[in-house]
Amino acid sequence: MKFDSPLRSSTTADLPVLPAARIAGRDVHACDAAGRSAICNAATGATIAWQDTASAAQIDEAVRAARASFEAWRATAAALRSAILHKVAECVEAQRARLVDVQMHVSGKPRAEAETDVSDVAATFTYYADLCNEAAAFSTEAVVVPDASVAAERFYDPVGVAALIVPWNFPMVTSAWKIAPALAAGCTVVLKPSELTSPAEHALVDLLAQAGVPNGVVNVVNGGAEVGARLTTHPLVDKISFTGSTAAGRHVMRAAADDMKRLTLELGGKSALIVREDADFDLAVSLAVGGAFTNAGQMCSATSRILVHDRLYRKFMAAFETAVRALVVASPQTSNATMGPLISRAHRMRVQALVERGLETGARVAFHGQIAARADDGFFMAPVVVAEPAVDNPLWTDEVFGPVACVKSFRSDADAIALANDTRYGLVATVVTQCEEMARRYRQQLRAGLVWHNTPQFIFAQVSWGGFGLSGIGRELGLAGLRSYQELRHTITLAGC
């Protein structure tokens, strides 16, 4: 059954049941309801669908379907793969309203955020469709070697069957970042969405089929961590691309070790936003709000450690408070909503527990925002801003993954850079300054996979994404994203043969 009625919220008995798996184009359900999980509307708390869990046999079948489709898909001309990926982007645009709706009704994202996600999905498929037509991405290249008696060549081969495991915060986007380059490279895939947001992926996978992706090239298995874990140990999986927490990433890395599966890990973050004394003040406040509270702070790239020059600190805190209090934390049905709920009751409890632990160990709440409308039992949480936490306070050191920001003052650029880099993560950073020379210094010295200067968190499919340290291994998007689904191969041949 397809999840095509996201607005339904009647009695649980007649709710849609999402399949346990999609294997070679067929939806496969579980034999019984054991292990079936509820999918909630995060803005109301209501159950809106059920999700069957894939069995071990179904996971195996899905991987085998991907394996069986691999040779034909890798042999498909890059130009045809390009045409299909372009068609996916067209289908995404044509179905924009439905895709936006699904995200609003599952994750509770405000309309503007749900729209941005859909634009990102379309842009990702378009970019990799175009890359398919760039000869250098695939074609055989001569390699110059200092021996005229031989000819050396370089090839890029698809890595094989890729297991794609994604979280719930940007479900459709994260899936597109993996599916598009994998298909462009000639890989076949088994996707494991988060059990909390799988309707988003079901909607996307429907469009892949419509666009002409052959059956078996993209397969889906549904369920939680145990389904992901089983997928990562399947011997026919050649590559794992995992996005999620650093804790789960460690398990995935261990699981990949036995077969030396290729690995991309996109993990957590604890990123900094630095406001220099010469910053455009209004811009700094708006970037601080966006960096910490977009998607209710449930962003790996949340810049939840805000560093402000001490001569600007008091003025900044006053303006930041006004801006945070102005956030409209409400259901996406509220037309002026600017911040949605957290994804689940359990996640909200986790975030609240982290805040309590931070306060118990000395942190101080400077102010918080408010929930505009609590019409129902959605998983809303008011934004929280903590002032001057100690550098070992968990709110300063640990990923919270919710609407909690810490602000700390600094006196010199050297202090700011040291504080920003004082983390085992290294995903992103933002610097707000009007001094070009200092901006260059920050861009060079901040240890993060992507540094923004005076911009919101712009993401382009052309610009690779990924982090240092505990934020992961490898890069998605850009040419690096394609290469992560390719094996590099060389040949050396006696000249004239």
Residues interacting with ligand NAD, by CB under 6 A? 165-169, 174, 192, 194, 224-225, 228-229, 232, 243-245, 248, 251-252, 266-269, 300, 399, 401, 427, 471-472
The DSSP 8-state label assigned to residue 277 in this structure reads T
Q: Which is nearer to ligand NAD, 82 or 116 (CB)?
A: 116
Q: Contact 479/153 with Cβ under 8 angstroms?
A: no
Opening angle at CA 322, ends 319 and 325, nearest 5: 145
- Nearest approach in angstroms of CB 395 to ligand NAD is 16
Q: Which residues pair with 368 in a beta bridge?
A: 384
Tally the C-alpha atoms within 13 A of residue 349's C-alpha that lie toward its C-beta: 3
DSSP conformation letters of 310-356: TTTHHHHHHHHHHHHHT--B--TTSTT--B---S-HHHHHHHHHHHH
* CA–CA distance, 382 with 330 (Å, rounded to integer): 10
* CA–CA distance, 113 with 339 (Å, rounded to integer): 9
Q: Which is nearer to ligand NAD, 236 or 439 (CB)?
A: 236
Structure tokens at 143: 């390699």
Residues near 225 by Cβ (< 8 Å), separated by ≥ 6?
Answer: 248
Q: Contact 413/309 with Cβ under 8 angstroms?
A: no
Q: Which is nearer to ligand NAD, 246 or 331 (CB)?
A: 246
- Nearest approach in angstroms of CB 264 to ligand NAD is 10
- Nearest approach in angstroms of CB 343 to ligand NAD is 8
Q: Could you give the residue numbers annotated as active site?
A: 266
- Nearest approach in angstroms of CB 40 to ligand NAD is 15
Structure tokens at 157: 């081969």
Give backbone dihedrals phi and psi of 262, rounded to 5 degrees, phi first. Answer: -65, 150
- Nearest approach in angstroms of CB 87 to ligand NAD is 26
- Nearest approach in angstroms of CB 51 to ligand NAD is 11
For the chain, the distance separating the N- and C-terminal CA atoms, rounded to the nearest angstrom, is 57
- Nearest approach in angstroms of CB 475 to ligand NAD is 10
Residues near 125 by Cβ (< 8 Å), separated by ≥ 6?
Answer: 85, 86, 88, 89, 92, 176, 180
For ligand NAD, which residue has the nearest CB? Answer: 228
Q: Which is nearer to ligand NAD, 231 or 274 (CB)?
A: 231
Q: Contact 55/33 with Cβ under 8 angstroms?
A: no
Q: Which is nearer to ligand NAD, 154 or 424 (CB)?
A: 424
Per DSSP bridges, beta strands 47-51 and 17-18 are parallel
Structure tokens at 41: 């509307």
* CA–CA distance, 167 with 183 (Å, rounded to integer): 20
Within 10 angstroms of residue 211's Cβ, the number of other Cβ atoms is: 18
Q: Which is nearer to ligand NAD, 53 or 95 (CB)?
A: 53
Which segments within 388-457 are labelled E, that is strand?
A: 404-410, 428-432, 450-453
The dihedral region occupied by 454, where left means phi > 0, alpha psi between -120 and 50, and beta the remainder, is left
Helix (H, G, I), strand (E, B) or coil at 297: helix
Q: Which is nearer to ligand NAD, 252 or 319 (CB)?
A: 252
- Nearest approach in angstroms of CB 233 to ligand NAD is 9
Q: Which is nearer to ligand NAD, 399 or 413 (CB)?
A: 399
